[in-house]
Amino acid sequence: MSYQEFKPSPLLSQYIDSYWISSQGKSSRVLPDGFIDIIFNFGKATPTLPAWGAGVAGMMTRFRDVSVNQSSEFIGIRFRSMYFHQWCAIPLHELKNLTISTNEIMNSWESHVVDQIYEEKNIQNKLALIEQKLYTSISESVYTKKHSLILSACNAIKSSFTSLSLDKVAQDHNISLRQLERLFRAQVGVTMKEYQAIIRFKHTLQNLADHPNQSLLHLAYDMGYFDHAHLTREINKMAGQPPSQLK
């Protein structure tokens, strides 16, 4: 199995977290990470991707086991979730925990793009072509006052995920929680509570990796879980394994 990640150019770093390329011949488990991906499949069809096609993997709230063919090759664009809505023709919550063909929901990404990317001889040229396609399709007109509101709400959740009251987020932005939730789901892809849980999960995994001997009870309190049982239940739901197996 081969897996590499690449950073986007400065012009696109506001929208893109990273690009990745994977050549693998076995199944793998994908965990929620708070991003939305376009995935190009240069090979046979998989359970979620068409052969020689591309799909959008929506925001995940639980793990997914991915089964692929022996000679599969994929390139992914990992979007910062609060910016992806401009490329998508449907509200992003309709993509939650799903992968849908780009032909169905993205007018600016025709099927021949996959062939064009594959024909490039090396990864640098492939990524340059992807960046060109992305840059020419950016529409600044979608970044309205509503988008600024959602971006601010996302940043508030990310910076204070352990103790933040979602009611307070709405109050701080002079909008009702119901209105904010509706906009958030459409532009980010999950509810604010689900987004907060994903951010907490990512930080918890990082803490488990960095401090494997830390007490799970202390970790639960540090990460904003109610107790050890709450930590274990949430990790099991998102990772399919108890926290003790993720150290």
* CATH number of the domain enclosing 170: 1.10.10.60
| 23 and 103 belong to one structural domain | yes
**Domain ranges, residue 98:** 2-140
pTM: 0.92
- pLDDT of 224: 96
Element (H, E) at 105: helix 102-105
| 13 and 54 belong to one structural domain | yes
Domain termination residue (choose one: 90, 115, 140): 140
Residues 6 or more apart whose CB falls under 8 angstroms from that of 133 comprise: 108, 109, 113
| 51 and 122 belong to one structural domain | yes
Read off the CATH number of the domain in which 100 is found: 2.60.120
- pLDDT of 28: 84
Residue whose C-alpha is closest to residue 234's, from 198, 183, 187: 198
| 119 and 149 belong to one structural domain | no
| 159 and 234 belong to one structural domain | yes
**Can you list the alpha helix ranges (DSSP code H) found in the chain?**
102-105, 112-119, 123-137, 145-159, 166-172, 177-188, 192-210, 216-222, 228-239
Residue whose C-alpha is closest to residue 134's, from 75, 189, 86: 86
- Distance between CA atoms of residues 51 and 41, nearest Å: 6
How large is the C-alpha radius of gyration of the chain?
Answer: 19
| 17 and 83 belong to one structural domain | yes
| 50 and 67 belong to one structural domain | yes
- pLDDT of 127: 96
Q: Longest C-alpha distance within the chain, in Å?
A: 53
| 127 and 240 belong to one structural domain | no
Q: Are 225 and 201 in contact (CB under 8 A)?
A: no
- pLDDT of 247: 78
| 122 and 182 belong to one structural domain | no
| 101 and 197 belong to one structural domain | no
Domain termination residue (choose one: 121, 140, 159): 140
| 19 and 114 belong to one structural domain | yes
| 210 and 150 belong to one structural domain | yes
Residues 6 or more apart whose CB falls under 8 angstroms from that of 239 comprise: 29, 31, 63, 201, 205, 246
Three-state DSSP class for residue 85: helix
Q: Could you read off the pLDDT tens digit of each residue along the chain, which spans 247 residues?
A: 588 999 999 999 999 999 999 886 677 899 999 999 999 998 888 888 888 889 999 999 999 998 777 677 899 999 998 899 888 889 999 999 999 999 888 866 666 788 899 899 899 999 999 999 998 888 765 667 788 999 999 999 999 999 999 999 999 999 999 999 999 999 999 999 999 999 999 999 999 999 999 999 999 999 999 999 999 999 999 999 999 998 7
Element (H, E) at 53: strand 53-57
Structure tokens at 231: 């930590």
- pLDDT of 67: 77
Torsion of CA 160, 161, 167, 173, to 10 degrees: 50
Domain termination residue (choose one: 75, 105, 140): 140
Element (H, E) at 38: strand 35-41
What's the number of domains the chain is made of? 2
- Distance between CA atoms of residues 14 and 119, nearest Å: 28
